[in-house]
A and B are shown apart, each in its own frame.
Chain A
Amino acid sequence: MATTAKSRMLTGSKAMVEAIDQEMERDPRVFVMGEDVGKYGGIFGSTTGLFEKYGPTRILDTPISETAFIGAAIGAAMEGMRPIVELMFVDFFGVCMDQIYNQMAKIHYMSGGHVKVPLVLMTAVGGGYNDAAQHSQTLYATFAHLPGMKVVAPTFPDDLKGMMIAAIREDNPVILMFHKGLQGLGWMDQLDASIGEVPQEPYTVPLGRSRIVREGNDVTIVGIQMMTVHAMKAAEQLKEAGIDAEVIDLRSLVPLDRETILRSVAKTHRLLVVDEDYQSYGMSAEIAATVAEAGLYDLEAPIRRLAIPDVPIPYSDPLENFVLPNAEKIAEAAKALVNM
């Protein structure tokens, strides 16, 4: 990140808004559309204040017609515009996935690289607040599995801003997932991680690079978004037990920063992957496979995974707590791994 004269404490959502605002000022081709992005300012605060500043020609409230407006963003992008389109909850992908993965993700390739689709699809992910099976998923791997789109999921406010700007300037389609619990919204759990220092002027954080958020020697814990936050808390608990954990915040699923993970495992010899997504066929498997293929001889213990057991996310508190990884479960798994 660029060093800057001025930075302030911002929430995740304010950091995102600032990124979009600065890019809209810089580039008249940038515009936003989605449900309730206008006066309401985005259900998760991703566009607060932008309607007042830019008006309805650049901040477009849409009908509840995701196929039409996400498809329209693709078409506008192909015409040289730089749309940012919001899918309110990632869980709603089902009604518009054809546009996303048969159009948006494949056009560049199918055209032999002759057609560019520079758009950002931003979408809210994550559970932990009892919103049940249709409003709590992350679906990281569902998108990361399909070639042709970059899939990023910044955790902290400074990355939200820098990666949003990078995504807008990127000539490829980017899915930018933001975690509801890390937006710093007044009506959710208040987490320290959802507020952070953010430089005022525009800057980019490259897509596809992870960040080591805590250095350690005994075990590598890989997480993303809320799981990174939980892993950092777990690392504090582990420290008390005499275990020195390294925590990697993945930040990006596609491209995936395999080198940083392999380098870390070469140092710690143990790997725990934590994922707020379904376990099977997911991100945790991809990372485990990466280490099995290229770092197997560095391991002193089998790879461990913590993810949502393969069931939809239940509503009731004790049930949801049971399926979601948290700091205690991470610490316990890491201890078991180190004491193996």
Chain B
Amino acid sequence: MATAEIVKEIPVEKARWMYETMVKIRYYEECMVQAYAEGKTPIFNIGAGTVPGEMHLAAGQEPAAVGMMAHLTENDTVTAPHRPHHHAIAKGVNLKRMTAEIFGRQSGLGKGKGGHMHLFDPKVKFACSGIIASGLPPAAGAALAAKMQGKNWVAVAFVGEGGANAGAFHETLNLAALWKLPLIVVVEDNHYGISVPKEASTAVPFNDIRGVAYGMPGFRVKDNDPLEMYRVSAKAVARARQGEGPSLIEIETYRYLGHFQGDPEVYRPKDEEAQLRKKDPIPRMRNWLLEQGLASEEEIAGMEARAHQEVDEAYAYARESAYPQPEEALADLFEPA
């Protein structure tokens, strides 16, 4: 965890927001583990149950989302990949409607058409996609639009370390640097692209050094540290807002769960998850808040209760919502004339 000096750089309400949001994300994902398992036992069937389809959860990856999103407003755009819940929650996506979408309900963000990899909340300028690295070019486009409209808005694209080997990643970095776009690309290095470890997919040890190739600064955040992520993001966002162009950030983060729920995880050591959880950023940040006198035990308990309540309400809302009518499948292809 970053040292005491960051206390001067991070306003207390931001620090508390980051903690509370990490708790919210973690609890959200834990609830989703349960919801996803409903109707899939004793025999796991991906297409069965309350929440069918693929499910990629982000427990352990909270620091990447909160450290960056602490600097953003509703006017800033975020694009996320196939593992999008932490980004969505930290960006302020409507949690009830997001959950309803994942439950396939009419009240969902996409009326049940999108599902967990395809969440869109234009109110807070959030979008995600299940195709690797496909969020980068549109984020550059959002940055271009901000620039053309004379706004100091920024765009942030999140991508996995595996996705940093896709053509769209490299093309977008060059384009953004060439046009000095207010874009920040955050690579979340959770060490795996499905089963393939980083050293087996990537020719360089760290992605931040690839910034050199595109003429932009690269920052690295070690140890899944939310405060360091906050600090690095501050620099990148400030650069972008001041018209100085794009930045590249790589954060070393942890994926506690399988690539997707149901992953046999034959490719990683059995005790890896337990080892990673020993370094869990949430208790680390909790202790830090207490040590620095930024929040008392009671205040922290209050934040945790509030986070849990919001999540519980979102799941309740989703469960109470109705399914769409079948014929609704034909609606929404085009904007009505």
Tell me the A residues contacting B by CB distance below 8 Å.
35-36, 38-40, 43, 61-68, 91-92, 94-95, 128-135, 186-189, 309-312, 314-323
CB-contact partner of B162 in A64, A94, A311, A318, under 8 A? A64
Question: Do A315 and B53 touch (CB < 8 A)?
Answer: yes
Taking the closest CB of chain A, its distance from the CB of B6, in whole angstroms, is 34
- B185-211 contact mask (Cβ, 8 Å, vs A): 1 or 0: 000000001111000111000000000
Taking the closest CB of chain A, its distance from the CB of B192, in whole angstroms, is 10
Within 8 Å CB of B110, what residues of A? 315
Interface of B is mostly: loop
Question: Do B115 and A130 touch (CB < 8 A)?
Answer: yes
- B319-335 contact mask (Cβ, 8 Å, vs A): 1 or 0: 00001111111100100
Taking the closest CB of chain B, its distance from the CB of A183, in whole angstroms, is 12
Within 8 Å CB of A66, what residues of B? 166
Question: Do B118 and A128 touch (CB < 8 A)?
Answer: no
Within 8 Å CB of B202, what residues of A? 63
Question: Do B329 and A64 touch (CB < 8 A)?
Answer: no
B283 proximal to A (CB < 8 A): no
Question: Do B46 and A187 touch (CB < 8 A)?
Answer: yes
Within 8 Å CB of A92, what residues of B? 131-132
Taking the closest CB of chain A, its distance from the CB of B213, in whole angstroms, is 16
Question: Do A187 and B44 touch (CB < 8 A)?
Answer: yes
Question: Do B267 and A321 touch (CB < 8 A)?
Answer: no
Question: Do A323 and B118 touch (CB < 8 A)?
Answer: no
Question: Do A130 and B130 touch (CB < 8 A)?
Answer: no
A316 to B329, CA, bound (A): 9
Residue among A66, A91, A131 with max Cβ neighbours from chain B (10 Å): A131
Interface of A is mostly: loop
Q: How large is the interface on B (under 10, 10 to 19, 20 to 34, 35 or more residues)?
A: 35 or more
Question: Do B196 and A35 touch (CB < 8 A)?
Answer: yes
Taking the closest CB of chain B, its distance from the CB of A131, in whole angstroms, is 5
Question: Do B329 and A314 touch (CB < 8 A)?
Answer: yes
Question: Do B325 and A67 touch (CB < 8 A)?
Answer: no
CB-contact partner of B195 in A36, A65, A129, A320, under 8 A? A36
Within 8 Å CB of B112, what residues of A? 314-316, 318-319
Say yes or no: A315-B195 contact (C-beta < 8 A), given A130-B47, A130-B104. Answer: no
Taking the closest CB of chain A, its distance from the CB of B90, in whole angstroms, is 23
Taking the closest CB of chain B, its distance from the CB of A328, in whole angstroms, is 13
B11 proximal to A (CB < 8 A): no
B54 proximal to A (CB < 8 A): yes
Residue among A187, A314, A317, A321 with max Cβ neighbours from chain B (10 Å): A314
Residue among A68, A130, A321 with max Cβ neighbours from chain B (10 Å): A130
Within 8 Å CB of B215, what residues of A? none
Within 8 Å CB of B130, what residues of A? 132, 134-135
A329 to B112, CA, bound (A): 23
Say yes or no: A35-B194 contact (C-beta < 8 A), given A65-B165, A65-B167, A188-B46. Answer: yes
Say yes or no: A318-B166 contact (C-beta < 8 A), given A36-B194, A135-B130. Answer: no
Within 8 Å CB of A186, what residues of B? 44
Question: Do B47 and A95 touch (CB < 8 A)?
Answer: no
Within 8 Å CB of A128, what residues of B? 47
Within 8 Å CB of B162, what residues of A? 63-64
Say yes or no: A64-B132 contact (C-beta < 8 A), given A35-B196, A95-B168, A130-B52. Answer: yes
A160 to B58, CA, bound (A): 36
Residue among B200, B262, B325, B329 with max Cβ neighbours from chain A (10 Å): B329
Say yes or no: A322-B327 contact (C-beta < 8 A), given A40-B267, A63-B201, A64-B165. Answer: yes
CB-contact partner of B113 in A67, A95, A314, under 8 A? A314
Chain A residue with minimal CB distance to B54? A131
Question: Do A129 and B52 touch (CB < 8 A)?
Answer: yes
B141 proximal to A (CB < 8 A): no
B163 proximal to A (CB < 8 A): yes
Residue among A317, A319, A323 with max Cβ neighbours from chain B (10 Å): A319
Say yes or no: A132-B193 contact (C-beta < 8 A), given A187-B46, A188-B46, A322-B329. Answer: no
